Amino acid sequence: MTTSVLRTADAWWVCTPTGAAKLTTTATTTAELLADRAAITAAGAATDTVPVDSLALVSPVTTPCRVVALATNYLSHIRDTGLDPDTVACTFFRKASGSISGPYDDVIKPSHVRLLDYELEIGLVFDRPMPVGTTVTADTLADYVAGLVVTNDISARDIQLPKGQYFESKSYPTFTPVGPALVLVDTDELRRFTDLRLRLWVNGELRQNMTAADMLYRPVEALQTLTGFQRLDPGDLLLTGTPVGTAISAPTKPVQVIASVLPPAVKWKSFLDSQARNPKYLHDGDVVQATVATDDGAIDLGTQRTVVRYADEQPPAAARHTVAASGSAPS
């Protein structure tokens, strides 16, 4: 059975059948908490609880930490971007951990960004050091992966594509909402990873709906590649890719052929102007809800709810919502 760990500004909590139980621990970071399994176990058996929806939850992944992400890793997304899955390598990029925000925090669009997009992803959180050269197998995966989180890889497409700049376009503050829960899993639960269904709505419209079975490079293969050159430590976060349904989509083949002969400045201006007419990009006031769970509910990472705000149009902090770590997604 999974264990869902929650975090507020001053405490850690564990979800129980009667509510959230506060942990007795000195841990202040995710890495420290994962090392204090006795406190997690004790809280799971506690009877002194509070309603989960009374808690103002923040990201269960603390910062600073490494945030690494897999690029174009779902077959449906690869094909939607006009690529051939047979030619796509296992590719990674980094995000600044300063981009991590809570599961109900506003997503703030910088004033110079025109094309704000979403990418629902499953995040892996680690609890053992993985030096370069670490061998990861299906049998040892649970030795390194402590748990799973809902993440949203918010992306400024007009920065990412013309500049080829993944780090900048995905690292602005609030561009990685995480949580609500860090769901601790064991070997058997990790074997059900591909049963996890990712669903994301914008203003109640279902945009993404796919299971992790659509993933090209699954956790074992991805980590085996990543640890060939990158060390990972307890509390670090790996985003594993997003399925089809993001706002951006590849131009048609004839348009791609025409664009290939245009000067770069002309090509990108034309592309960005056409994308600016795409209504699926995020706008001020849009409500993004995202959830990851198996269809039978045996593994449930909870539901994220964020509101998009333009940098110069934020409401007072008191007007922002605090909602529960689990509950019904839009029908």
Q: Mind listing the domains of the chain with CATH numbers?
A: 59-250+280-319 (3.90.850.10)
DSSP string, 33-81: HHH-HHHHHHHHT---EE-GGGS----SS-SS--EEEESS-BHHHHHHT
DSSP E strand stretches across the chain = 3-8, 11-16, 19-22, 49-50, 67-70, 92-95, 100-101, 107-109, 116-117, 120-126, 145-152, 155-156, 176-177, 182-184, 196-202, 205-211, 237-239, 287-294, 300-310
Identity of the amino acid at 154: I
* pLDDT tens per residue across span 83-131: 899 999 999 999 999 999 999 999 999 999 999 999 999 999 999 999 9
Q: How far apart are CA 67 and CA 93, in angstroms?
A: 9
Q: Which one, of 188, 116, 183, 127, lies nearest residue 152 by Cα?
A: 116
Q: pLDDT below 50 — which residues of the chain?
A: 251-259, 261, 318-324, 326-331
* pLDDT tens per residue across span 60-77: 999 999 999 999 999 999
pLDDT of the residue at 297: 97
pLDDT of the residue at 253: 45
